[in-house]
């Protein structure tokens, strides 16, 4: 889930080498919830600062649902960790990458590790 098309392209390029990955794009938290319910992703990559329903609300809603509570979550956000904590924090087990320090290798490694644990073939962001 990312509302900036340039960043969506950057993330897709970072994961392009993973041939067994499919993407579903959502530009806000509401679309993210809908896409999650329709596609049952194996991993969710999300921003927190989004229009309409923000990423905080989306991940909290998903975390309350037993069907989606254990879907691995990778947060890529420009927010500082202190700001995230002040807004309620992230669910346990969520991985965090700051946009300022974004590394394609780090994202690819996180996704690869999560995919190996799940043995799955589809990612949603």
Residue pair 14/104 in contact (Cβ under 8 Å)? The answer is yes
What's the gap between Cα 7 and its chain centre?
13
Q: Which helix (H) or strand (E) holds 75?
A: strand 73-77
Q: What is the pLDDT of residue 85?
A: 92
Residue 122 has pLDDT above 80, yes or no: no
Sheet holding 44-46, edge to edge: 44-46, 73-77, 95-98
Q: Read off the pTM.
A: 0.84
What value does the mean pLDDT of the chain take?
Answer: 84
User: Which tokens belong to 9?
Assistant: 């392209």
Residue pair 107/97 in contact (Cβ under 8 Å)? The answer is yes
Q: Please tell us whether the domain made up of 5-118 is placed in CATH 3.40.350.10.
A: no
Q: Which helix (H) or strand (E) holds 44?
A: strand 44-46
**Hey, where are the domains in the chain?**
5-118
What average pLDDT score do residues 48-73 get?
89
What average pLDDT score do residues 58-65 get?
90
- Alpha helices for 73-123 (secondary structure H): 81-86, 104-118
């Amino acid at each position: 889930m990312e509302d900036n098309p340039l960043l969506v392209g950057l993330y897709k390029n970072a994961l392009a080498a993973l041939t067994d990955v499919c993407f579903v794009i959502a530009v806000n938290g509401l679309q993210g919830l809908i896409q999650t319910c329709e596609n049952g992703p194996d991993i969710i990559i999300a921003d927190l600062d989004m229009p309409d329903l923000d990423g905080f609300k989306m991940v909290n809603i998903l975390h309350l649902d037993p069907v989606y509570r254990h879907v691995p979550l990778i947060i890529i956000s420009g927010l500082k960790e202190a700001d995230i904590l002040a807004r309620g924090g992230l669910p346990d087990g969520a991985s965090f990458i700051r946009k300022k320090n974004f590394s394609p290798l780090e994202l690819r490694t996180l996704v690869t590790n999560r995919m190996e644990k799940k043995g799955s073939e589809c990612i949603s962001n």
